[in-house]
Amino acid sequence: MSDKSVDRRWHSRFRLSLPIKLRRENGGEWITGQTVDLSDGGALLSMPSHLVPPVGSRVSVELEVPESQTAAGQAVQVNSQAKVVRHQPGQVGELGVAIQFMAPLDLGLVDE
The answer to whether residue 21 sits within a structural domain is yes
Digit-coded pLDDT (tens) for 22-72: 999 888 899 999 999 999 999 999 999 999 999 999 999 999 999 999 999
- Of 26, 33, 8, 32, which is closest to residue 81 (Cα–Cα)? 26
The answer to whether residue 111 sits within a structural domain is no
pTM of the predicted protein model: 0.87
The answer to whether residue 7 sits within a structural domain is no
**pLDDT computed for residue 12 by the predictor:** 87
The answer to whether residue 62 sits within a structural domain is yes
The answer to whether residue 2 sits within a structural domain is no
Torsion of CA 32, 19, 97, 15, to 10 degrees: -170
**pLDDT computed for residue 110 by the predictor:** 86
3-state secondary structure (DSSP) of residue 4 = coil
The answer to whether residue 112 sits within a structural domain is no
Question: Which residue range forms the structural domain that includes residue 40?
Answer: 14-101
Domain count, the chain: 1
The answer to whether residue 6 sits within a structural domain is no
User: What is the chain's mean pLDDT, rounded?
Assistant: 89
Which residue has better confidence, 76 or 26? 76
> For the domain that residue 34 is a member of, what is the CATH number?
2.40.10.220
Q: Is the pLDDT of residue 2 over 80?
A: no
